[in-house]
Structure 1
Amino acid sequence: MDRSLAVDLPKPAATVQVPWSVIPDYHCFGCSPHNPSGLRLAFTPHPDGLQAAFRLGRAFESYPGVVHGGLIGVICDEVMGNLIVLARNYPAFTVSQRTRFLTPLLVNHEYRCVATLSAPAPDRPIQAAAEILDGNGAVCATSTATYQRFALDDVRHQLTLGDDEVTLLSDALSAANTFSTNGVHS
């Protein structure tokens, strides 16, 4: 494998399938296995929510040997956003996000991102948080974000989905899961 791209880590047996995986050849930059230039994140349950292990190659660096900070925000957003979909059974757009960098992340080093959700509040935007941890469990970056729920039919004109894909995705979003509404795996 070209070490300049995202490095595939072994997929644990407990990998969680995201609803988007029902759409053949989906190309999400963060989680699609079909996007050769993407991050190809795989999600696993975490006692507090959802996590994804990753190691990025030189194609994702800013300063020599350092992962570009913008990608850290992308990874946090991806894990938080998919936790919302899995725990609440509906998609949500990112409204705002704030990321704090405690230490640079290095290329070709293993990290994991752990996302959690605040308790649901009716008619309020969804609050989520994430941490990037190194191999020793030290926090390297944190992120908090606000998300707004949306209905597929309401944003249909903005998405490139056919009728059959909307049906597949709607069915996947309504399927039972093992996450509570605050994202804790049960």
Structure 2
Amino acid sequence: MSTGTPIEVPWRVLPDYRCFGCSPSNEHGLRLSFTHSGDGIECVLRVDRTFESYPGVVHGGIATTVCDEIMGNLLVLKVGTSVFTTTLRTRYLSPLAVGVEYRCVATADDVDAPPYRAYAEITDPDGATCVTAVGTYQPATAAQARERMDLTDTEADLIESALADLRRGQ
């Protein structure tokens, strides 16, 4: 179960942090907040009709986004470097309903060498598994992250400092 203390992702240091998945200031995003859960991390999600596909059903792409977001952030927290998704496979066991609270938990294999593999599972309030995902991720050097994220030198330095803190265990 969750420890309840929100995890601060490294991207929080950016003045205009707008991640669709986890930025608390993106009014159009999911605003996911992560907490520790065993060897992984978890989040709670409840989405409104903004993210609906069929009436009352959460769009499948949103479920996949939640899984990718939590798996990627877990790996960043574990390895202390930016990672990018290289493969992502999602299995939908039952649809997610709009307005219902779900729990998503991510875990990872050994992170000794890339590519890194992570797993996510979204469960309903009764604990039944609704969605599973597995993804592989490649680390990015600071220069690659700067280029791919279109960061200024100042922003790149801020993120690299936050990632260095993770690597030092701070």
TM-score bracket, normalised by the shorter chain, equals over 0.9
Of 26, 31, 34, 1:35 maps to 26
Asked if the contact 2:77/2:166 (under 8 Å) is kept, the reply is no
Q: Provide the TM-score with structure 2 as the length reference.
A: 0.93
Asked if the contact 2:46/2:101 (under 8 Å) is kept, the reply is yes
**In the alignment, does 2:155 pair up with 1:165?**
yes
3-state SS of 1:144 partner: strand
**Equivalent residue, structure 1, for 2:47:** 56
Of 122, 135, 142, 1:132 maps to 122
**Equivalent residue, structure 2, for 1:18:** 9
Of 57, 64, 67, 1:73 maps to 64
Asked if the contact 2:82/2:145 (under 8 Å) is kept, the reply is no
Q: Distance in 1 between matches of 2:145 and 2:5?
A: 32
**Equivalent residue, structure 2, for 1:150:** 140
3-state SS of 2:135 partner: strand
Structure 1 residue runs without a partner (length 5+): 1-11, 180-186
**Equivalent residue, structure 2, for 1:120:** 111
Q: CA deviation at 1:34?
A: 1.8
Give the superposed CA RMSD: 1.7
Structure 2 residue runs without a partner (length 5+): none
Asked if the contact 2:78/2:111 (under 8 Å) is kept, the reply is no
Q: Distance in 2 between matches of 1:106 and 1:174?
A: 39
Q: How many residues get paired?
A: 167
Q: CA deviation at 1:82?
A: 0.3
3-state SS of 2:130 partner: strand
Q: CA deviation at 1:165?
A: 1.0
In the TM superposition, what whole-angstrom CA distance separates every residue of 1:68-127 from its partner, at most 9, and x where no partner exists? Answer: 0011100000000000111110111100100000111000000011000001242x3100
Q: CA deviation at 1:158?
A: 2.7
3-state SS of 2:96 partner: coil
Q: Percent identity?
A: 48
Q: CA deviation at 1:128?
A: 0.5
3-state SS of 2:6 partner: coil
Q: Distance in 1 between matches of 2:168 and 2:100?
A: 31
Q: Provide the TM-score with structure 1 as the length reference.
A: 0.85
Indicate the structure with greater helix content: 2
